[in-house]
Structure 1
Amino acid sequence: MNDRRAFLKGALATSIVISLPSAAFSLFDKGNKPLRVGMITDLHEDIMHDGLLRMEAFLKVMKRKKPDALIQLGDFAYPGDKNKEVIELFNNAHPNTLHVIGNHDMDAGYTREQCVDYWGMPDRFYVRKINGVSFVVLDGNDKGSPVHKGGYASYINEMQYQWLEQQLEQIDGPVVIVSHQPLAGAYAIDNAEQVQGLLAKHSDKILVAVNGHTHIDAHLEVQGIHYVHINSASYYWVGGKFQHDSYDESILKEHKYISYTCPYKEALFTLMTIDPKSRTISFSGKTSRWVGDSPEELGFEGYENAIPGKEIVPEIRKREIKS
């Protein structure tokens, strides 16, 4: 127990400082105040028994922090009446709520068009300007990848790529790129190198790219662009080979897919702050605990870009990107 307390204390204090090119900050108008955005991803309301409680925990903290916007980064909740309560809870929590479509939001026969309509999105990909920063929201669920090997589509098609290229040419202020599927690192989209090359051409205006999907805590830099993987609010998926009981039978009977996961006891989420004066981008930290066995205890070894105890953790680490 003492070891656990020591770990939690150390994890809460973790701070990762990252170097950031300064050009994008020069695009801010003088006097711009810090921009703060609450972020939550991969709630998986349709897998977890307590998704609504996790969303409530996020919004309770955000109400106190008073951010300028809220973003959910996908794999949120099927766009139908069964999830109306959690969807409306998020939508009504702030005047500026941004949605990103995740691959699992279209399970059970739902469509991207239903996500757009039911969640109240302007389109499946779009731009929202908030306090001088343009948030370019992408949809990584396009089909048509020439290297697709089965499973969920993970691709930016030519039409969306041309749209992104046009937006980056036209936008004359700082930009944040937002997606569900990562554009770099673990489980990146099929044409990640193509998109990375485009973003690199506009590194003078791109502050950071953030994504969900991977359920890991990670950061990498590619060609001057910083990519941050935001951890899931709910769990890490270990799959059928590592199926186990983390909750009691009454919960798992109604929510069978939880047994394929290592859940987090408390919801994970973060507050991203962009401060033009100090020329920094920071992500607040939040640490939880595993419910039941951890991936390491189950013998799960991870994969090349994500290792238990490193990227696979019940935590979002505190990060500061400085120019």
Structure 2
Amino acid sequence: MMNRRLFLQKACGGVLLLAASPSLISCDRQQHPVRFGIVTDLHYSRREPYGTRYFPQTMDKLKEAIKVFNQSNLDFVIELGDLKDQDNVPQREQTITYLDEIEKEFQTFQGPVYHVLGNHDMDSISKDDFLQHTSNHGDADKKTYYSFTFNGLKFIVLDANHNLDGAPYDKGNFDWTKAFIPKEQVMWLQGELKEKNKPIIIFIHQLLDRFSDIGKELCVSNADDIVPLLEENGNVLAVFQGHHHAGHYSFRNNIHYWTMKGMIEGNLPDNNSFAVVEIDPQNNIHIDGFYNCEDKDLNRNL
């Protein structure tokens, strides 16, 4: 766990490093790594705390994360789902208010931002509601799954928020233990993976590493069909996931599966979770974690 004093030292150190290395901004991929900020599972609302979840506090947690992100020379910021929550007695209009409030803060990042859909994003609203009240950068806007590129790296965002019959999660009409990627999206993914001249990063809310020791109820139900597609491509570096607030890590066939700890967990001032991820020109990944999010290196050739 990172205490506040250590956090401030780390953040200030990052600012000094950037100030000393202005040439990195204009260099190509041979010299310039790709850097992005990442958060997950904010579950923002103004409902009363429940267990270890302090729903209103994620607004201040996100403000702290965005402040660091805006000082860190990032290419983009992404959140991995469950951006908002709902009241004990859910009402669509109030839920949308929570979404608007947290999205407004998320958009204060001074650069491109992206969303991954999580199951709680459709707890009392529809996917269309979520899309109409959030914005992704560029061509990814108003899409639940999409791809984009930065500096020679390809990023693919998946949406597993479907019932087993392929119907999208809608206003709480779903079983969160049965996430599913429908055939149409699988076919789209196959097309995206045909491009084999770029390293690839996958973003998804629910977990794909169903082969690991993680509880299967946390995983995409047809993950065993998806993972071989990633492995066949040969250039997938890592899968970044949310959903499991405690975090998790696994590795198979040269692909890292890193599940980020949820921002919602724990009380201020000592608890938060966010990270700056850097992918170097050799495709090694360094996760610079803050507070409950630990640092981790995900090297390409293990």
TM-score clears 0.5:
yes
2:255 alignment partner in structure 1 = 225
Equivalents in 2 of 1:145, 1:224: separation in Å?
A: 32
2:131 alignment partner in structure 1 = 116
**Which segments of 5 or more consecutive residues in structure 1 lack a partner in the other structure?**
14-28, 236-261, 288-314
Contact 2:83-2:102 within 8 A present in 1 as well: no
Q: Does 1:66 align with 2:73?
A: yes
Equivalents in 2 of 1:94, 1:168: separation in Å?
A: 30
AA matched with 2:39: I
Contact 2:147-2:157 within 8 A present in 1 as well: yes
Aligned-pair identity (%): 25
Q: In the TM superposition, what are the counterparts of 1:202-217 in structure 2 within 5 Å?
A: 202=233, 204-217=234-247
Q: Which runs of 4+ in 1 moved over 6 A?
A: none
Aligned length: 243
Give RMSD over aligned pairs: 2.7
Q: Deviations 1:70-90 (Å, cap 9, x if unpaired)?
A: 001000026723432320221
Q: Deviations 1:77-126 (Å, cap 9, x if unpaired)?
A: 26723432320221231321010010001112x01122222112421100
1:281 alignment partner in structure 2 = 285
1:144 alignment partner in structure 2 = 164
Q: SS state of the match for residue 71, structure 2?
A: helix
Contact 2:164-2:179 within 8 A present in 1 as well: no
1:51 alignment partner in structure 2 = 58
Offset, 1:61 = 1.1
AA matched with 2:197: D
Question: Which structure carries more relative contact order (alpha carbon 8 Å, separation 6+)?
Answer: 1
Contact 2:163-2:175 within 8 A present in 1 as well: no
1:17 alignment partner in structure 2 = none
1:158 alignment partner in structure 2 = 183
TM-score, normalised relative to structure 2: 0.73
Q: SS state of the match for residue 38, structure 2?
A: strand
- For the structure 1 residues 82 and 212, does the alpha-carbon distance in structure 2 shift closer, same or farther, using more than 3 Å as the test? closer
Equivalents in 1 of 2:196, 2:111: separation in Å?
A: 23
Equivalents in 1 of 2:175, 2:164: separation in Å?
A: 13
TM-score, normalised relative to structure 1: 0.69
1:245 alignment partner in structure 2 = none
AA matched with 1:37: F
Q: SS state of the match for residue 188, structure 2?
A: helix
Q: SS state of the match for residue 88, structure 1?
A: helix
- For the structure 1 residues 41 and 31, does the alpha-carbon distance in structure 2 shift closer, same or farther, using more than 3 Å as the test? same
Contact 1:217-1:317 within 8 A present in 2 as well: no
Q: In the TM superposition, what are the counterparts of 1:1-323 in structure 2 within 5 Å?
A: 31-46=30-45, 48-77=55-84, 80-108=96-124, 110-121=125-136, 122=141, 123-144=143-164, 151-152=175-176, 153-170=178-195, 172-184=197-209, 185=212, 186=214, 187-202=218-233, 204-235=234-265, 263=267, 265-277=270-282, 279-287=283-291, 315-322=292-299, 323=301
Equivalents in 2 of 1:281, 1:118: separation in Å?
A: 32
Offset, 1:283 = 0.5
Contact 1:101-1:139 within 8 A present in 2 as well: yes
Equivalents in 1 of 2:161, 2:75: separation in Å?
A: 28
Contact 2:275-2:288 within 8 A present in 1 as well: yes
Contact 2:41-2:262 within 8 A present in 1 as well: yes
**Which segments of 5 or more consecutive residues in structure 2 lack a partner in the other structure?**
11-27, 48-54, 86-94, 167-173
AA matched with 2:230: L
Contact 2:242-2:259 within 8 A present in 1 as well: yes
Contact 2:29-2:151 within 8 A present in 1 as well: no
